[in-house]
Structure 1
Amino acid sequence: MTLQLQADPVTIGEAIESLLRDGVPVRFTAYDGSAAGPADAEIGLHLKNERGLSYIMTAPGDLGMARAYVMGDLEVRGVHPGNPYDAMVLLMSHLRFRRPTIGEALRLVRGLGVSNLVPPPIPPQEHAPRWRRAVEGLRHSRSRDADVIAHHYDVSNRFYELVLGPSMTYTCALFETPDATLEEAQRAKYDLVARKLDLQPGQRLLDVGCGWGGMVRHAAREYGVRALGVTLSAEQAQWAQEAIEREDLADLAEVRHLDYREVSESGFDAVSSIGLTEHIGVRNYPAYFSFLRDRLRPGGRLLNHCITRPHNRPTETGAFIDRYVFPDGELTGSGTIITAAQDAGLEVQHTENLRRHYAHTLAGWSRNLVENWDACVAEVGEGTARVWGIYMAGSRLAFERDEIELHHVLATRNDATGDPSYPMRHTF
């Protein structure tokens, strides 16, 4: 008995409608003249060409759509490409795909054209898949970590200036009032970290994963602290060191292009880790917290600031984030972080969730991208700018929906008698 396949042509609009449980929540149009969804919808998707269809057919899900969007083959209408937040809210709230039967899948493939199953070249912004990275080096080895950090952070310092603003701070801000500006909120974040660490003039601070040196410079300028920052990004280190010189802080502050595991100094009064833990891998938490504990003097404090999950299962990021934004990124819950810190011999004194503050932070970065769109495109190209637009809008939505969180964990290295040099009540 042979299987007879339906070979009648299928329009792209018909294919989309057949795969969605609740209908199309936006107006979808395609290059073949077909359409789906409400004609009066404010948000629209337009598939411009056959290459875009091939991207979607050869990588179903967010990866294929991202490839088509980054390459300009899929247009999102009704929103600015620098901030497609409204479109993502609608799509993520109402887009419900159903799994087709084998027969249905074969009919759609035949109807749309088997030739579209030949994958087009991947966009230049896309990082290698996890399996290929595994061939090139062990996950979270020093060489592989350096490579993936460079992929994200060595895009262009000028691009980051346009998106992040004058603070050059690429981590969650702290909005003490609803009308606080992004710059005010970033200063407030650094100051909260400094107060939690109880920084005092003349003390020594180590800031691991220091980025463009925002915490290092704040601690030196506002608290008279001798601060050392380390980052795996060469461009960040160069920018930070130049900023230190401009601000006449060279007698107190230094930023090195260095893996945090290569810091040889110890006896620091405080260690801050702001946005590094996401990159090191959950399996490496024991070594990470042990290393940071050993950098502290007895009575010293550690403040760990990182993105977390609302649960404690280690979870890899989705395909789009892994290929385009944070290769090898891995998140878990604050409970796992607290456990690892305690097992390393640290006493956890305080924890705080700043989840909603990160949603506001991302909204601010998205506004900057929109306002500086032409300059950003001129600096890094439209494909990379589009990556940032959907990445920041999607991340904002994930923080709003409690799919990801942001936790501070404050801990102390106690002395041999158990004294943490910590007051009976918090002072920050």
Structure 2
Amino acid sequence: MSVLGQWKQDQGRRGDMTIAEAYDLLVGASDQVHFEAYDGSSSGPADARYQVRLKNPRGLAYVAGAPSSLGFARAYLMDDLEVDGFHPGDPYDLLAILDTLLEPRRPPAAEAVRALRAFGRAALTLPAPPPNEVPSGVHRALHGLRHSRRRDAEAIHHHYDVSNRFYEMVLGPSMAYTCACYPSDDATLEEAQANKFDLVCRKLGLKPGMRLLDVGCGWGGMVRHAVREYGVTAIGVTLSAQQAAWAQQAIEADGMSDRATVRYQDYREVTESGFDAVSSIGLTEHIGIKNYPSYFEFLYSKLVPGGRLLNHCITRADNLHPGIKRRGFIDRYVFPDGELAGAGTIIVAMQNAGFELQHEENLRRHYARTLAGWCRNLVENWDECVAETDLRTAKVWGLYMAGSRLAFERRQIELHQVLGTRTEEGGDPHLPMRPDWGV
């Protein structure tokens, strides 16, 4: 008799399931995970690499109320679910195993009912979510319509205003919170971030005396690199007050205040025009797919004829399922209201706004490596990161970055750079016949 057959026969003799048996049915067993519940039941090898303990009924209620990565994350963040065998700053190896286990399962109806009995009242009641979870549904709508200026500002504040010191420890000296571009296998994270900014500058064809607009500029890394290395005059805008303050201080320290500025400002409030180049690095994910047409039309209007736009953003791996899982972990804990589309959707929107598409490339594998570097920094600075924020926030970042690394590696998401020009009416794009920016 098979193991599954023996298991079913045993269940028929015993009646209701234990919590561990229900866990195996709804989640799945792994020889690398030992699961133990507060009712004394367990499953998996006792000497498994990862030891998972469900400590109390509240933790069970989280898992039963959202039987997916969200439910487990809630229980883990509230310390109702303990896991040994990994560092909370980089749970990559654990998530690689759980990624397949936490896919929703559809057991036969009769067995599902028995599993629910094992959960008891926890299957019917859901405790309040952890304090750092962003409200969903009508509660979030009270803060304005999706992608209104007020609600966008609050979403950006939630993620980017954690603490500048926290970001310094996680991101490193570059303070670049976007995908790096590794010029070689042995390049460091800092070298790769500098190479990314330089690649963008070269694609934009920057030269001394040009004017650059950097929308969603973060801590001003692109602005400072372009001014320092290419002699341009640059304006950066961000919806994070903490980012703007840090960036402006760095600009002053670098002695470039006469040529560079970073503002705490919505990109839609930029009144200047006549820019030779626009860089959008990691902003498109936040603006909303329905706003793509107006977004790219706005950026097109800011350019001189022959000017260039470089759009750098996370995308889906196809163009069939736009949007976000609005009730998932990323939406509730990391990027409220974030939306992803396929690279084709972005290209169509750019073309429809008037841009002539000149070049496109996928840096997906570079982002996986970037995230591994950030997780390494979080592990190395764990105690200080926890002291700077709190334990739950640090654990969220470990889950989010390691999970994102896994998603990039498995091509669940990608990172695309798309270069477009505001080509002259006569057809001159102010671009060489072949790309001259190298790799």
TM bracket, shorter-chain basis: over 0.9
Q: What SS is found at the alignment partner of 2:354?
A: coil
User: TM-score, normalised on structure 1?
Assistant: 0.95
Task: Give the structure 1 partner of residue 401 of structure 2.
Answer: 392
CA contact (8 A) 2:68 2:104 kept: no
* Stretch of structure 1 that moved more, 399-408 or 39-48: 39-48
- Deviation for aligned residue 1:82: 0.4
CA contact (8 A) 2:59 2:75 kept: yes
User: In structure 2, which of residues 210, 213, 236 is the aligned counterpart of residue 229 of structure 1?
Assistant: 236
Matches within 5 A, 1:135-146: 135-146=142-153
Task: Give the structure 1 partner of residue 156 of structure 2.
Answer: 149
- Change in CA separation of 1:103 and 1:135 when aligned onto 2, cut-off 3 Å: farther
Q: CA RMSD in A?
A: 1.8
Measure, in 1, the Cα distance between the counterparts of 2:147 and 2:160: 17
Q: What SS is found at the alignment partner of 1:427?
A: coil
CA contact (8 A) 1:293 1:413 kept: yes
CA contact (8 A) 2:238 2:267 kept: yes
* Stretch of structure 1 that moved more, 84-93 or 23-32: 23-32
User: In structure 2, which of residues 97, 113, 124 is the aligned counterpart of residue 106 of structure 1?
Assistant: 113
Task: Give the structure 1 partner of residue 345 of structure 2.
Answer: 336
Task: Give the structure 2 partner of residue 53 of structure 1.
Answer: 60
CA contact (8 A) 2:363 2:416 kept: yes
- Change in CA separation of 1:200 and 1:245 when aligned onto 2, cut-off 3 Å: same
Measure, in 2, the Cα distance between the counterparts of 1:424 and 1:15: 63
Measure, in 2, the Cα distance between the counterparts of 1:115 and 1:193: 52
- Deviation for aligned residue 1:94: 4.8
* Stretch of structure 1 that moved more, 410-419 or 261-270: 410-419
Matches within 5 A, 1:242-261: 242-261=249-268
Task: Give the structure 1 partner of residue 188 of structure 2.
Answer: 181
Task: Give the structure 2 partner of residue 357 of structure 1.
Answer: 366
Task: Give the structure 2 partner of residue 287 of structure 1.
Answer: 294
Measure, in 1, the Cα distance between the counterparts of 2:263 and 2:278: 15
Task: Give the structure 2 partner of residue 3 of structure 1.
Answer: none
Task: Give the structure 1 partner of residue 323 of structure 2.
Answer: 315
Task: Give the structure 1 partner of residue 140 of structure 2.
Answer: 133
Measure, in 2, the Cα distance between the counterparts of 1:279 and 1:253: 24
- Deviation for aligned residue 1:239: 0.7
Matches within 5 A, 1:14-33: 14-20=21-27, 25-33=32-40
Q: What SS is found at the alignment partner of 1:136?
A: coil
AA paired with 1:419?
A: D
Identity of paired residues, percent?
A: 65
Measure, in 2, the Cα distance between the counterparts of 1:10 and 1:226: 68
Q: What SS is found at the alignment partner of 2:48?
A: coil
Gaps of at least 5 residues in structure 2 are: 1-12
Task: Give the structure 2 partner of residue 63 of structure 1.
Answer: 70
Q: What SS is found at the alignment partner of 1:113?
A: helix
Give the ranges of 4+ consecutive aligned residues of structure 1 lying more than 3 Å apart after TM superposition: 6-10, 20-25, 93-97, 100-106
Measure, in 2, the Cα distance between the counterparts of 1:8 and 1:111: 10
- Deviation for aligned residue 1:109: 2.9
Gaps of at least 5 residues in structure 1 are: 1-5
CA contact (8 A) 1:231 1:257 kept: yes
Task: Give the structure 2 partner of residue 84 of structure 1.
Answer: 91
Measure, in 2, the Cα distance between the counterparts of 1:21 and 1:93: 9
Deviations 1:242-278 (A, max 9, x none): 1111111111110000000010000000000000000
- Deviation for aligned residue 1:291: 0.2
Measure, in 2, the Cα distance between the counterparts of 1:142 and 1:361: 30
Q: What SS is found at the alignment partner of 2:318?
A: coil
Measure, in 1, the Cα distance between the counterparts of 2:366 and 2:142: 38
Task: Give the structure 1 partner of residue 6 of structure 2.
Answer: none
Deviations 1:8-60 (A, max 9, x none): 76422111122245666511112222211122321222212222111111222
Q: What SS is found at the alignment partner of 2:434?
A: coil
User: In structure 1, which of residues 193, 196, 201 is the aligned counterpart of residue 203 of structure 2?
Assistant: 196
User: TM-score, normalised on structure 2?
Assistant: 0.93
Measure, in 2, the Cα distance between the counterparts of 1:129 and 1:178: 42
CA contact (8 A) 1:24 1:95 kept: no
CA contact (8 A) 1:206 1:229 kept: yes
